[in-house]
A = this chain, B = another copy of it.
Amino acid sequence: MIVACIQMNPVIGDKPTNVSRSADLIRSAAERGVDLVVLPELANTGYVFRDRQEALDLAEKVPGGETTAVWSELASRHQTTIVAGIAERDGDNLFNSAVMVGPKGYIGRFRKVHLWGDEKKIFEPGDLGFPVYQAPFGRVAIAICYDVWFPETFRAAALQHADILCVATNWVPMPGQPADRPAMANTLVMAGAHSNNLVVACADRVGVERGQPFEGQSLIVDRRGWPVAGPASRLDEEILFAQIDLDPSSRRGVGADNDVLQDRRPEVYAGIANLRS
């Protein structure tokens, strides 16, 4: 299968522009016959909300909102699957979500489990766990940005037999990050993929929004954790493409007698105070 990660630069608050731009980029990716397109976190609204009210005014029902309808129509027309970040409103609750739509319409959603910075003042923490959805090409798990700081995210995907983890993200620079180093997020993603025998496809945003710079460096890594596309640039909109073999027969251990999932020792972990609770 072919996966595309769209690195784009949404404009805060300008939903029509963002959705239109996302549609242009999805169409560009679709010309290459991709099976899966991943877009950044909060791709339809931008990220740095002034307050909860600004986010509430921009958020939509998922499914049922206009952005999901546009993306769904594109997935259907181009016979592809799209995973994209979206501000979700559910009654009085707001979630930093990602929606997954396929050739036949709405498939499912993910709500960011680990909230970053001011998100804690704006969004409810995700209450759906880490669902895994069936797509035509395989099993798909979803994470958003700070979720990949937590190894449990990758474990949740792998232990539920996901083939690929889609990461919709708005990575920001880490404190103390050396200027000459790739984003720590790239390291976290490579490690998470390697330790879980899991393909990971990350679509980040670029640009500066209300003073907040973003990292770019979107990345697609194979089951072994090695980059197969990207990292993309730090500054520019860009589409990454990677051909990935998700067939179970292509799965290989890290050694002749070693498989990172089979070699886990849950009976040992069970004895560690606080690891489970």
A residues whose Cβ falls under 8 Å from a Cβ of B: 113-118, 120, 125-126, 129-130, 146, 149-152, 154-156, 159-160, 172, 174-178, 181, 184, 187-188, 190-192, 194-195, 224-226, 252, 254-258, 260, 263-266, 268-277
- 17 new A-B contacts at CB < 8 Å, known A125-B265, A177-B226, A187-B191: A114-B265, A116-B258, A129-B268, A129-B272, A130-B272, A150-B264, A151-B151, A152-B268, A156-B269, A172-B255, A175-B254, A176-B252, A184-B194, A187-B190, A190-B191, A191-B191, A276-B276
Cα of A125 to Cα of B255 in the assembled complex, Å: 17
Would you call B150 and A260 a contact (CB within 8 A)? Answer: yes
Measured between C-beta atoms, what is the minimum distance from A142 to chain B in Å?
14
Query: Taking CB as reference atom, which chain B residue is nearest A264?
Result: B150
Interface of A is mostly: loop
Contacts of A274 in B (CB 8 A): 159-160, 266
Copies of this chain present in the complex amount to 2
Would you call A257 and B117 a contact (CB within 8 A)? Answer: yes
Contacts of A120 in B (CB 8 A): 257
Would you call A277 and B268 a contact (CB within 8 A)? Answer: no
Q: A269-B156, A275-B156, A276-B269 are in contact. Are A252 and B194 (CB under 8 A)?
A: no
Would you call A149 and B116 a contact (CB within 8 A)? Answer: no
Would you call B195 and A252 a contact (CB within 8 A)? Answer: no
